[in-house]
Amino acid sequence: MNVPNIKGFLPLSMLDWPEKVTSVIFLGGCSFRCPACHNHGLVLAPESYKDQPLEQVIGFLRERTKWIDGVTITGGEPTCHEGTPELISKFRDLGLNVKLDTNGANPIMLEELVQRRLIDAVSMDIKAPLETGLYSKLAGVSVNLRNIKRSIRLLKSSGLSVFFRTTVIPGFIGENELDRIRDELGSVPRYSIQRFRNIETLDPEFGQIPDLDLESFDALQLKFEQPGLGCRTFCMN
Ligand code: SF4
């Protein structure tokens, strides 16, 4: 099976996996079109990014397995590609830990990755309370919520290190919505929120939404998230 092309490679990051130093692999394409997405080049036009030769990436990682904790696979949406498990297995063969960033839309692949023990950690974006209207609005496509719920259930029972995260978008996601999301998620070890920024959004209309002031965001963080999770996990929305 063909492995997906690598569209970006960050040799070293301390922001993508809490408390770990990882290399980051970016894959193109995504099943969502989140209007708030800051990574829309990779989502809408992955062909405009130069492919990073897999052998070079593997060679780089092979020489540094002692210095990094693992690899983060992000996007775009890595689970869009049928060959992602095979790509991940190549990093596994180097003895590396792997964290996957996902929008949760492909629970079948998530299950395969868990069952084959190809991943150690997963970051999943929770875009909105689990109702079709708002979720689809913030994903930019009609979302099958059964898949999102199945991914949440699977990850909660997987025994992996799991991070859930929501972007606070003024006018769409505020205290009430976060309350509902926390209720729907139930007990999870790691939940964080991130502040929406109105720069370079996929939907230019979202560029008109005012940034949430820091004081209000701090108050929401205090209420909703565990300390120490302020990192750039997941897709960059
Ligand atoms: S924010 Fe994430 S899930 Fe949404 S379009 Fe961008 S890469 Fe895809």
Q: What is the pLDDT of residues 122-155, one digit of tens each?
A: 999 999 999 999 999 999 999 999 999 999 999 9
* Cβ atoms < 10 Å from Cβ of 60: 13
| Helix ranges (DSSP H) in 93-208 | 107-115, 132-139, 145-156, 175-185
Residue in 7, 27, 31, 32 to alter for ligand 1 test, most ligand atoms within 8 A of Cβ: 32
State whether the beta carbon of 148 lies less than 6 angstroms from ligand 1.
no
CATH dotted code for 6-224: 3.20.20.70
Q: Please check the confidence at residue 229 and state whether its pLDDT lies above 80.
A: no
Residue 121 pairs with which residues in a beta bridge? 99, 161
* pLDDT band at 227; cut points 50, 70, 90: low
Looking at residue 189, what is its pLDDT?
87
In the numeric block, which tokens belong to residue 129? 């309370």
What residue ranges do the domains of the chain occupy?
6-224
**Chain centroid to CA 180:** 21
43-65: average pLDDT: 95
Looking at residue 66, what is its pLDDT?
87
State whether the beta carbon of 77 lies less than 6 angstroms from ligand 1.
yes
pTM for the predicted model, two decimal places: 0.93
- The angle formed by the CA atoms of residues 125, 161 and 65, to the nearest 5 degrees, is 105
| pLDDT tens, position by position, 89-123 | 999 999 999 999 999 999 999 999 999 999 999 99
Q: What percent of the chain has pLDDT over 90?
A: 89
Looking at residue 16, what is its pLDDT?
87
* 221/237 Cα distance (integer angstroms): 17
* 52/7 Cα distance (integer angstroms): 6
Give 202 Cα–ligand 1 centroid separation in angstroms.
9
147-172: average pLDDT: 97
State whether the beta carbon of 138 lies less than 6 angstroms from ligand 1.
no
Looking at residue 90, what is its pLDDT?
97
Q: Phi/psi at 132 (nearest 5 deg)? A: -60, -45
Outline where DSSP puts E strands in the chain. Answer: 6-13, 22-27, 70-74, 97-102, 121-125, 161-168, 191-195
Residue in 77, 206, 232 to alter for ligand 1 test, most ligand atoms within 8 A of Cβ: 77
Looking at residue 232, what is its pLDDT?
46
* pLDDT band at 226; cut points 50, 70, 90: low
Pairing between strand 6-13 and 121-125? unpaired
- The angle formed by the CA atoms of residues 185, 187 and 193, to the nearest 5 degrees, is 60
Give 40 Cα–ligand 1 centroid separation in angstroms.
7
Residue in 27, 38, 39 to alter for ligand 1 test, most ligand atoms within 8 A of Cβ: 39
In the numeric block, which tokens belong to residue 82? 């049928």
* pLDDT band at 1; cut points 50, 70, 90: confident
Which residues have CB under 8 Å from 179's CB, separation 6+? none
* pLDDT band at 198; cut points 50, 70, 90: very high
State whether the beta carbon of 101 lies less than 6 angstroms from ligand 1.
no
**Whole-angstrom Cα Rg for the chain:** 17
* pLDDT band at 236; cut points 50, 70, 90: very low
Give 36 Cα–ligand 1 centroid separation in angstroms.
8
